[in-house]
Amino acid sequence: MACRVQGRGARRAAAGFVSMIMAVVGLVVVQTAFSPPAQAAEVPWDCGDAAYLFQSPNNLNPPHQVQSIDLVSGAYTTAGATADAVNAVAYNTADDYMYAWNLRTDTLVRISADLTLTNLGVPANTGDSFRGIDYNVGDFDADGNLWIMDNQTGRWLRIDMSNPDAPRTTASGTAAAPANLLIPGDWVYLNGVFYGVAPRADGTGDARLVSFDLTSRTFTNRGILTGMASGSTFGAVYSDDTYLYASRNQGGNIYRVNPTDVTNIFLSAGPAASSNDGARCRSNKIPTVTLVKQVGGRLVPDDQFRVELVNASGTIVNSVTTSGTQTTATSINQPVEYGRTYVIADRLTDAAPSQPGDYQGSLSCTTSGLPAAATPSVAIATWTFTPNSRAAWTCVVTNAPRSPAPALELVKSVSPQDAGSFTAGQVLTYSFVVTNIGNTIVSNIAVNEVAFSGAGTMSTPTCPVTTLLPRFSVTCTATYTVQAADVTAGTITNTARSTGTGPSGGPVVSNDDSAEVPTGGIPGLSIVKTALPPIALKAGEVVHYEFVVTNTGNTTVSNIAIAEGAFNGTGAPITPPVCDRTTLVPGQRALCSARYTVTQADIDRETPLTNTARATGTDPGGGPVLSPPDDAVVPVLQSPQLDLAKDARSSGHEAGDVVTYRFKVTNTGNTTVTGLTVGETDFSGTGTLGPVTCPVTTLAPGATTTCTATYTLTRADIRAGHVDNTAVATARDPQGTAVPSPPDAAIVGFPQAARSAPRLTTRVSDKRVTPGQRFHDRLRLRGIVKGTKVKATARLYGPFVSRGAATCKGQHVARTVTWRAGRGWSKSPAVSVSAPGVYTWRVKTKASANNGAGRHPCGQKAETLTVAKPAYQAPTVNGGFSGTLLPSTRARTTLPRVHARAIRLNAAVLTAGVTRGQMELPGDVGMVSWLRKSAGYGDKIGTTVIGGHVSDRHDRPGALRRLSQARLGQPVDVASLGKVHRFKVVSKASFARTTGIPARYFSTTGPHRLLLVTCTDRVVYPNGHFHYTRYQVVVAKAVPRRHHRR
C-alpha cells in the first residue's frame, strides 16, 4: 500500500517510498532476475496490532526506514530499515509475509519480519508495457491475489500468489482517475473492493473516499471525507477488515474511515514523510468503545452528566454529554488499544446544581460473545476498563438520584444595630438568609419567629422567592418599630427558624438563629488590587485589573464600589469597575474587575502604568466606609529597534551605468521613532554616491519606508570587479536616544573566482539570564578575505523545554539581529526576551563578492542559554485553615482557574507573594493562590506553585480538600486569559511541617511542572480544636498542547 507524486521520468530522483536497511548484521541478500536467492531462513511476521510504515524520504538513497505504529495513539518506534526503497507494500494473511515492489530493481520482493528482502523477480506473464514501472499502490484480495497499481499512470497488475515463490500476472490494465480527483496513493481490500483516499486534482478542498471494483476495474467516488484536506497524498492506508485507516504524508495525521457511511474521525498524529507506504495484518481487528449515558431521573432539571474515556496519559479520547431532558446519550465508537487499561469517568457538568454524592451510578461494558463486565452501584465516580477482546465494546453508565435529603440553613442579622439608633420609633430591619444545603429542591420557604422580646409586634417575614434549588439562597426580611418599653428594657432579642417543603411533601426545618440590638458596629473594608498581564509590551494590549474587596468589620457594609485614584495612563480611562455584589456582611468578599487598553503613547513614554484605588461603602448608619488604598504597577518595556534591508540594481556592467540603491527601513520595535536618516558606513566605489532620500522620517511600530540613492559606475569600479556599499539607518526614540539599525550591505558584482565559505565559532554572552535582561551572541570568523566584512544574521530560537528539544524553524524565531562582521571576534546587538525557557542562537553569514556564505548547526551547547525567573527561597505554605468558605460567584470566572475533575477541584486563582517567609493564601478557602515568584502557567520551564487551604477554621472543606486523593496520570487544567494549560500528575509526597517542603520543589528551571500544595494529617484535640501536621504536595508535568483533547 503506497503513495508517490511524480511520474516515471523523475523516478530515480523522486519515486518510491519507505524502506529499511537490514536489521540483521552480516546478512547479505544476493538478488537474481527471476528466482529467489539462497539465503538464511526467512522469518514470518506476527499478525499483531502494529501497522508498519515504510519511509524513503531520499527516494532511492538510504535510509529506508520502517516505523512500527500504534494507529490508535500514534506512538511509533523505528523497527529497522530495508536495503532498498520499496512501495505497494501488502500483508498476505495466507503466509504472514509482506510483499512489495522494489523501486531500484523494478521487481517483486518478499519482506521478512527481520526486514530482509527476497527478490521474486518480475511476475511471469507480465507484458512489456507493464515492466519497469514504479508500482506504489497494493493489497491482497480475498482470493489471495496481489493487486498493485502505479498511481501516476493508472497501470495495474493482478498477481496470483498461490505459489509465493513463483508469482504470475493473471490480469493487467489501465484505470482512469475519478473525475477531478487523483488516483489514491494507497488502497486496502474491504467488502469486496479496494478503498483509498483520493485528493482533489486541484489540491483544494477535502479528499474523497474512492473504491476500485475488481470486476469493472474502474474507480468510483464514494463521497467527501470532511476534514481530510487535499494538498497531500494519503500514502499509507491500513485495514482491520471493518474500517480503513489513512495516514497523511504531510503532518502524519491518521484518520479512521468508515466506508459504509463515508464518515471519518481523527485518531492520532503519527510520523510524517514525503514518501510513505504502509501495511498491516488486516485480520487483527482494532477494538472500539462506545459510551452510553443513561439517566434514571434528575434531582434538579438543570442536572446534566458527562462520561469520559481517558487513556493512561490522562487524555480524554472519547466522551458524551447529556442535554435538556435527555435520558440517553451515545458517543462515537472510538478505537482503543487492545489490552490497555482506560478510565471511564462519570461526572456532573460544571453548571449542574447538584453534587456528585447526590447520585449513584453503575457501569456495564458488553460486547458480542462475552458476558457483561458490570460494577456495583457507587457514587458518581470513575472506573477502570481494559478491552480484552478485539471487538466493539459498549460501556453503559447509568445514574439514578439518591433519596432526596432536603435541608435548610438560616443566618439572621438586624440593622441598624448601634446604640444611638435604639430609640422609640426607630424601625429595625431583620434579614434572614435562607440557604438550601440539601440535595433537592425545597419549596414553600418561610421564616418563623421562635422567640421575640420586643414589646410590640414584628411584621411577618417576607421572602422574594419561596423555592430554592440545592445550594441557592434567598434573603427574607421583616421590620419592627422600637417601643418605649424596649428602650427601658435596654435590649431586644429575637430568634427565628426557616421552614419549607421537600419533594415528598414533608416539612423541612432549619437551625435556629438569633439577633440582638443594640450592639456596637465597627465597619471596615480592605482592597487588594492586581493587574494582568504584569508588563505592558505593545499598544492595543489590554490590562485586566482585579479588585478583591473584603468586609473586615463586624457590621454590614452596603453600596460597595471602587474609587479609582490617580492613574497615569494616556488612553481612555479605565473602564468603570464592575462588582459581583454591592453589599457585604462581615467577612464576605466582592470581586470587581476593570480594563485598560495600552496606547502607543504609553509605550513611547516608558513610564510604568500606576493606578491607585480604594474600596468604598456605606455603614448601617449611613456613614462612609473607606478602605486603605492599594495600587497596581504595570511596568512598560520599551524595545526600540530598526531593521534595514538594502539592495542594489545596476542598469549594466559598464562605466557610466547607474546603480540604484534601495534602503527598506522597518520599525521592528514597539516605540515610535523620528528623524530617520540612512548613512553610508563603507563604500568601495571610486565615484561619488548620490544623497539618500527618504519619503517619511517618522515610523510607528511596524511601519516601513523605502529610501533611495543612485551611483554612476566608473572604469575603476569595473576593473575592481565589484562595488560594495554598507549603510546604517538611524532614528531617535521618544526619549531622544539614537536607535541605529544593524548595518546592511549591497554588492554589485562582476564575474569572480570561486569563493570559500568562512568558518564560524560562536558563543552566547550569558548562560542564564532573567526575563527582560539583555544579552548578545559572539561570533568568530575565520577564512574570509582579509580586510573584508560580511553580513552576519543571528536568529534566537525559543523558548524550548530543553536544548535537546530545540529546533531552528521559522515558527520558533524569537529575535533576529544583523551586523557587519570581519575576521576575528565580533558581537551581535543585544536582545532580551520575557518568556522563560531554553533558547539557542544560530548565526549565518551572507555571501559577498569575496566570501562564500556560512552558518553553524542548530542547538550547539555554546549557543544555548536559559531565561528563567530568579531563584527564590522555598516559602512556608500554611494551608490548614483560614477564613470562611463562600458561595461561588460569576465574577470569579474573570480570574484564572485550576480544575481537576478527579479530585473535584475547581477554584479561582489569585496572585500571591511571600510575607515574612510565608506564601500568602486567600482568606476565602474556596480559592487558591499562584506564587508570583514561581513559573507562569504557560512557561516552558520551572515549577508553577499553587497553594490553598484544606479547610476553614470551622472545618468546612477548602479548594484543596481532596488533594491527597490525587492519583498518578490524572489531568489538572489551569485556564488563564483564554488559554488552557494541561498538566498530568506524576508524583505525590508529604512532609512534616516542622521540616518544610524541600527547595527542589520550587525550582525556576528544569522541565515545566505544576506543584499543588496544602496541608494534611489532621490532629483533633479533646476540646474539639484541630490542626494539621504535614504538607501534602502533588507534582504534575506539563502536557504539550498538541496532546490536548477536548
Residue 619: pLDDT band by 50, 70, 90 thresholds?
Answer: confident
Q: Which CATH number fits the domain that encloses residue 414?
A: 2.60.40.1530
Measured distance CA(407)–CA(16) in Å, rounded: 73
pLDDT surpasses 90 at 158: yes
Quick check: is 319 in a domain?
A: yes
pLDDT surpasses 50 at 40: no
Q: What is the residue range of 98's domain?
A: 8-23+50-279
CA angle at 30 for the pair 28 and 31, rounded to the nearest 5°: 140
What is the rounded average pLDDT of the residues 542-568?
88
pLDDT surpasses 50 at 377: no
pLDDT surpasses 60 at 20: no
SS3 62: coil
Q: Which of 374-388, 464-478, 846-860, 871-885 has the lowest mean pLDDT?
A: 374-388
What is the tens place of the pLDDT at every residue in 737-751?
999 987 877 777 654
Both 182 and 275 in a single domain?
yes
Strands 1026-1038 vs 979-992: parallel, antiparallel or unpaired: antiparallel
Give the pLDDT of residue 302: 87
- Residue 370 C-alpha cell reads as 462475552
Both 1027 and 911 in a single domain?
yes
Give the pLDDT of residue 281: 85
Answer with the residue of higher pLDDT: 754 or 907. Answer: 907
Residue 12: pLDDT band by 50, 70, 90 thresholds?
Answer: very low
Contact 395, 289 (CB under 8 A): yes
What is the rounded average pLDDT of the residues 610-627?
92
Share of the chain above pLDDT 90, in %: 46
Answer with the residue of higher pLDDT: 360 or 484. Answer: 484
Measured distance CA(436)–CA(473) in Å, rounded: 6
Give the pLDDT of residue 1043: 57
Measured distance CA(646)–CA(664) in Å, rounded: 6
Sign of CA dihedral 365, 366, 372, 377: positive
Contact 211, 193 (CB under 8 A): yes
pLDDT surpasses 70 at 512: yes
Q: Which CATH number fits the domain that encloses residue 359?
A: 2.60.40
Quick check: is 966 in a domain?
A: yes
Give the pLDDT of residue 23: 30
Q: How far is CA 562 from CA 547, 584, 592, 973, in A?
A: 8, 14, 8, 32
Answer with the residue of higher pLDDT: 272 or 457. Answer: 457
Measured distance CA(200)–CA(182) in Å, rounded: 6
Residue 28 exposed, middle or buried by CB count within 10 Å (0-12, 13-18, 19+):
exposed
Both 951 and 1018 in a single domain?
yes
Q: Which CATH number fits the domain that encloses residue 1026?
A: 2.40.260.10
pLDDT surpasses 80 at 883: no
Give the pLDDT of residue 849: 60
Give the pLDDT of residue 712: 93
Q: How far is CA 813 from CA 151, 827, 829, 839, 868, in A?
A: 39, 19, 16, 10, 18
Both 1032 and 908 in a single domain?
yes
Phi, psi of 775, rounded to the nearest 5 degrees: -150, 170
Mean pLDDT across the chain: 84
Quick check: is 340 in a domain?
A: yes
Based on its alpha-carbon atoms, the radius of gyration of the chain, rounded to whole angstroms, reads 37
Contact 521, 417 (CB under 8 A): yes
What is the number of domains present in the chain? 6
Sign of CA dihedral 706, 712, 718, 719: negative
pLDDT surpasses 50 at 38: no
Give the pLDDT of residue 705: 94
Give the pLDDT of residue 552: 78
Residue 314: pLDDT band by 50, 70, 90 thresholds?
Answer: low
pLDDT surpasses 60 at 363: yes
Give the pLDDT of residue 325: 93
Give the pLDDT of residue 532: 72
What is the rounded average pLDDT of the residues 592-601?
93
Both 587 and 513 in a single domain?
no
Give the pLDDT of residue 885: 39
- Which residue, among 47, 30, 9, has the nearest Cα to 117 in the 3D structure? 30
> Scanning the structure block, which residue is given the C-alpha cell 519482506?
111
Give the pLDDT of residue 891: 41
Strands 971-976 vs 943-948: parallel, antiparallel or unpaired: unpaired
What DSSP assignment string belongs to 474-497?
EEEEEEEEPPHHHHHH--EEEEEE
Residues 6+ apart with CB under 8 A from 490: none
Both 509 and 594 in a single domain?
no
Residue 944: pLDDT band by 50, 70, 90 thresholds?
Answer: very high
The sheet carrying 236-239 orders its strands as 236-239, 244-247, 253-258, 263-269
- Which residue, among 565, 687, 727, 551, has the nearest Cα to 625 in the 3D structure? 551
Neighbouring C-alpha atoms within 13 Å toward the C-beta of 987: 8
Q: How far is CA 477 from CA 430, 459, 718, 851, in A?
A: 5, 9, 100, 89
Give the pLDDT of residue 520: 65
Q: DSSP letter at 214?
A: T
Give the pLDDT of residue 77: 72
Answer with the residue of higher pLDDT: 232 or 371. Answer: 232
Contact 644, 727 (CB under 8 A): yes
A 10 A CB-CB count for 730 gives: 18
Query: 0.85 exceeded by the pTM?
Result: no
Measured distance CA(354)–CA(350) in Å, rounded: 10
| Domain end call among 834, 867, 900 | 867
| Domain end call among 517, 552, 574 | 517
Quick check: is 450 in a domain?
A: yes
Both 484 and 545 in a single domain?
no
Give the pLDDT of residue 337: 83
pLDDT surpasses 70 at 372: no
Residues 6+ apart with CB under 8 A from 719: none
pLDDT surpasses 90 at 566: no
Both 245 and 325 in a single domain?
no
End-to-end CA separation in angstroms for the chain: 32
Quick check: is 734 in a domain?
A: no
Quick check: is 715 in a domain?
A: no
Give the pLDDT of residue 811: 83
Contact 71, 245 (CB under 8 A): yes
pLDDT surpasses 90 at 417: no
Q: DSSP letter at 94?
A: T
Give the pLDDT of residue 534: 60
pLDDT surpasses 90 at 691: yes
Both 1010 and 993 in a single domain?
yes
Give the pLDDT of residue 379: 46
What is the tens place of the pLDDT at every residue in 633-687?
888 877 788 878 787 888 887 889 999 999 989 887 889 999 999 998 888 889 9
Give the pLDDT of residue 750: 57
What is the tens place of the pLDDT at every residue in 454-511?
999 999 999 999 998 887 778 899 999 999 898 888 889 989 999 999 888 899 999 9
Give the pLDDT of residue 39: 42
Both 170 and 70 in a single domain?
yes
CA angle at 411 for the pair 409 and 413, rounded to the nearest 5°: 165
What is the rounded average pLDDT of the residues 520-542?
80
Quick check: is 661 in a domain?
A: no
Both 142 and 218 in a single domain?
yes
Quick check: is 259 in a domain?
A: yes
What is the tens place of the pLDDT at every residue in 579-589?
989 998 766 77
| Domain end call among 374, 401, 428 | 401
Give the pLDDT of residue 649: 82
Residue 26: pLDDT band by 50, 70, 90 thresholds?
Answer: very low
What is the tens place of the pLDDT at every residue in 949-1000?
988 877 788 999 999 999 999 999 999 888 899 999 999 999 998 888 999 9
Residue 19: pLDDT band by 50, 70, 90 thresholds?
Answer: very low
Highest mean pLDDT among 179-188, 330-339, 358-367: 179-188
Both 216 and 257 in a single domain?
yes
